[in-house]
């Protein structure tokens, strides 16, 4: 009985830790938003109201979040990073920071603080183009990083002189990193289509239902990526 209670307490503590993250709450709201978009398929009704109100609520979570990517933009890149990847990384930071900054003006308009409707709609479209650009940069970065990891893993395989446990440890770490990159690649690919749907660049192919489905799946991936790392077992 005591063991079950301890396990339940530990699991609840992890859940509290997870929900205390503003980013996690934002992604849960995002899943609700795009799930509602999928259900409504752009038609008026309860689901569309949930989509719109959740979208507005999420903008509050993102207030001043543009500072994060602004900091990333001016921070030095990791040692050994190829120049094309540095350029893509900085472009991603600049575009995402711009998207988050402009999104605050959209929020101000929807709450009635900013009154110019035409300009707010234009700013909203520009911000979505910035998000589309940042998602494309993320996509290209993940493809390049997966290729780099693949080459590194092949080099490890060819090194037959390496001590077995050292090889296993390094290979496992690189494989885990490669899987994480692959998941991020899938997510960024979905986000590109979602951005295309929100901008209505291909309205016949990327319908509100397609946008909602991919946005919902992308949100679930984000929720998974934010899960706390499992505790390592203690070695006696």
Number of domains observed in the structure of the chain: 1
Q: Rounded CA gap, 78 and 74, in Å? A: 12
| pLDDT tens digit sequence for 171-230 | 788 888 999 999 999 999 999 999 999 999 999 999 999 999 999 999 999 999 998 776
Q: What is the pLDDT of residues 123-175, one digit of tens each?
A: 999 999 999 999 999 999 999 999 998 888 777 776 655 555 555 677 788 88
Helices (H), the chain: 2-19, 22-40, 46-61, 66-74, 83-110, 117-158, 164-199, 208-225
Of 134, 145, 133, which is closest to residue 81 (Cα–Cα)?
A: 145
- Pick from 187, 165, 164, 184: which is nearest to 176 by CA? 184
- The pLDDT assigned to 233 comes to 44
Annotate 103-122 with b (16+ C-beta within 10 A) or e (fewer): bbbbbebeeeebeeeeebee
**Residue-level pLDDT at 12:** 83
Q: CA–CA separation, 187 vs 217, rounded Å?
A: 8
Q: Would you say residue 186 lies in a domain?
A: no
Q: Is residue 44 part of a domain?
A: yes
Q: Coil, strand, or helix at residue 66?
A: helix
State the distance between the two ends of the chain, measured CA to CA, in whole angstroms: 25
Q: What is the mean pLDDT of residues 42-61?
A: 92
Q: If you write DSSP's letter for every residue of 127-152 in order, what string do you get?
A: HHHHHHHHHHHHHHHHHHHHHHHHHH
User: Which 3 state secondary structure label does DSSP give 20?
Assistant: coil
Would 29 be classed as within a structural domain? Answer: yes
Does a structural domain hold residue 99? yes
Q: Considering the domain boundaries, does residue 150 fall inside one?
A: no
CA 184/CA 139 separation, integer angstroms: 8
Write out the two tokens for 69. 């990517």
How many CB atoms are closer than 10 A to CB 136? 19
Q: Is residue 166 part of a domain?
A: no
In a domain, 162, yes or no: no
Residue with the larger pLDDT of the pair 163 and 109: 109
Give the residue numbers spanning the domain of 82: 4-138+193-226
Exposed / middle / buried, residue 40 (Cβ in 10 Å: 0-12, 13-18, 19+): buried
Any domain includes 9: yes
């Amino acid at each position: 009985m005591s063991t079950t209670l301890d396990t339940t307490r530990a699991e609840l503590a992890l859940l509290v830790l997870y929900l205390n993250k503003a980013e996690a709450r934002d992604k849960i709201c995002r899943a609700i938003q795009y799930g509602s978009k999928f259900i409504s398929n752009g038609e008026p009704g309860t689901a569309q109201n949930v989509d719109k109100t959740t979208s507005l609520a999420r903008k509050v979570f993102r207030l001043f979040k543009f500072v994060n990517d602004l900091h990333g933009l001016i921070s030095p890149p990791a040692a050994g990073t190829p120049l094309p990847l540095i350029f893509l990384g900085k472009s991603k930071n600049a575009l995402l920071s711009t998207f988050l900054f402009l999104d605050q003006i959209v929020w101000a308009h929807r709450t009635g603080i900013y009154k110019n409707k035409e300009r707010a709609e234009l700013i909203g479209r520009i911000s979505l183009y910035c998000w589309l650009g940042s998602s494309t940069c993320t996509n290209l970065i993940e493809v390049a990083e997966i290729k780099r990891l693949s080459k590194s893993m092949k080099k490890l395989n060819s090194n037959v002189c390496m001590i077995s446990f050292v090889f296993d440890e390094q290979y496992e770490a690189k494989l885990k990193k490669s899987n994480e990159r692959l998941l991020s690649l899938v997510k960024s690919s979905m986000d590109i289509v979602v951005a295309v749907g929100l901008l209505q660049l291909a309205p016949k192919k990327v319908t509100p239902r397609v946008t909602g489905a991919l946005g919902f799946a992308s949100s679930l991936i984000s929720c998974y990526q934010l899960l706390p790392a499992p505790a390592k077992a203690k070695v006696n």
